Structure 1
Amino acid sequence: MELEALRSIYEGDLCFRELSPISFQYRIGESGDPKAFLIEVSWPETYPQTAPVISMDAFFNNTISSAIKQSILDKLMVEVEANLGTAMTYTLFEYAKDNKEVFMENQPVNTVTSVSNSITTGTPDVPAIKKKDKKEQLSKTQKRKLADKTDNKGELPRGWNWVDVIK
């Protein structure tokens, strides 16, 4: 019954994924967010009388420190203990979504800077000179052809690309 409820609730949600009828993944946060993480919940045979298996071992979570993963799992297990005996997968996912900022407050944000910004030439006091973008240069012939096609405003005349059907 909980399986059907999860399928109907998360239908079309790109963050939810059903790995098998007893195993589910949910991504907390946007895919480009450096503080996003993935929770995997698996149901044992005696679920919901026993706690589900919660895992954060997915490759998506490799940037998260193990201390923060353990902290998230500990907080989720407290929620599991409070809901033992009832269907709790949806509750766990929503609890994680609601507390994402609290869970990830100590996670450092890793930003990647491009190599061109980190390399400087000359002395550090002199700012780098920006090169001007070159515009495409047209030859005299190309300019003449362009001018012949356009009117005095630089616009092509109406119907310049129409096909003559009668020919």
Structure 2
Amino acid sequence: MTANEDQEMELEALQSIYEGDDCFKELTPVSFQFRIGDPDDSKSFLLEVSWPDSYPETAPQITLDGFFNNRLSPDTKKYILSQLAEQVEANLGTAMMYTLFEWAKENKEMLMENHQLVTSAVTLISNSEVINTTSVSKKKEKKEQLSKSQKRKLIGRTDNKGELPRGWNWIDVIKLSKTGGKEEN
């Protein structure tokens, strides 16, 4: 069999095995995402796997670059990828996606044993831009003030007949809804 035939067969198998499973997502016919663990679990992660043209004879590309994995430390990501690389080497030449996904599910605790939760990555541009959160919550929101030129642009948004676009005055819409669109006698 050619690599493409192997890929087609494995794709069909993955679709039938993971049909209805919200952990598995097929992005393209050669690219997949598989979530290990529950979305609310801090020790869960998302594997992104894509097949090169010569897969399964060559290793698939596995990444942990998804936004879901932002809470993982770089060391944890490296460890997970190194462990998965060992599994890929052991299964090279065969259809391995199901094996990799199930191995990762079974060994999640071992993969995440040194995991330290990354709460957030905040970059401060300067000390003057640091905002006290208690003072922000006490302040009332101000309405945006338009400049004269902005007001002129709003007035100038008429069509070629000199009429404003439909829905520009929501008061008319409210009046229509109260009257049902009928003229009062």
TM-score, length basis structure 1: 0.65
Q: d(CA) in 1 for partners of 2:71 and 2:90?
A: 30
Partner of 1:86: 94
Q: d(CA) in 2 for partners of 1:104 and 1:26?
A: 16
Matched, 1:48 2:56: yes
Q: Are the equivalent residues in 2 in contact too, given 1:34–1:110 (CA < 8 A)?
A: no
Q: d(CA) in 1 for partners of 2:48 and 2:65?
A: 8
Q: d(CA) in 2 for partners of 1:110 and 1:84?
A: 33
One-letter identity of the residue aligned with 1:8: S
RMSD of Structure 2 on Structure 1 (CA): 1.7
Partner of 2:163: none
Unaligned runs of 5+ in 2: 1-8, 120-185
The structure in which a higher percent of residues are helix is 2
User: How far has the Cα of 1:106 moved from its partner?
Assistant: 1.1
Q: Which runs of 4+ in 1 moved over 6 A?
A: none
Q: d(CA) in 1 for partners of 2:23 and 2:37?
A: 8
User: How far has the Cα of 1:110 moved from its partner?
Assistant: 6.5
Partner of 1:157: none
Q: Are the equivalent residues in 1 in contact too, given 2:34–2:46 (CA < 8 A)?
A: yes
Secondary structure at 1:70 match in 2 = helix
Q: d(CA) in 2 for partners of 1:108 and 1:50?
A: 33
Q: Are the equivalent residues in 1 in contact too, given 2:70–2:118 (CA < 8 A)?
A: no
One-letter identity of the residue aligned with 2:111: F
Corresponding residue to 1:26 among 34, 44, 49: 34
Q: d(CA) in 2 for partners of 1:62 and 1:71?
A: 15
Unaligned runs of 5+ in 1: 112-167
1:102-121 correspondence runs (5 A) = 102-109=110-117
Partner of 1:163: none
Secondary structure at 2:71 match in 1 = coil
Secondary structure at 2:13 match in 1 = helix
Partner of 1:148: none
1:1-167 correspondence runs (5 A) = 1-109=9-117
Structure number with larger C-alpha Rg:
1
Q: Are the equivalent residues in 2 in contact too, given 1:50–1:84 (CA < 8 A)?
A: yes
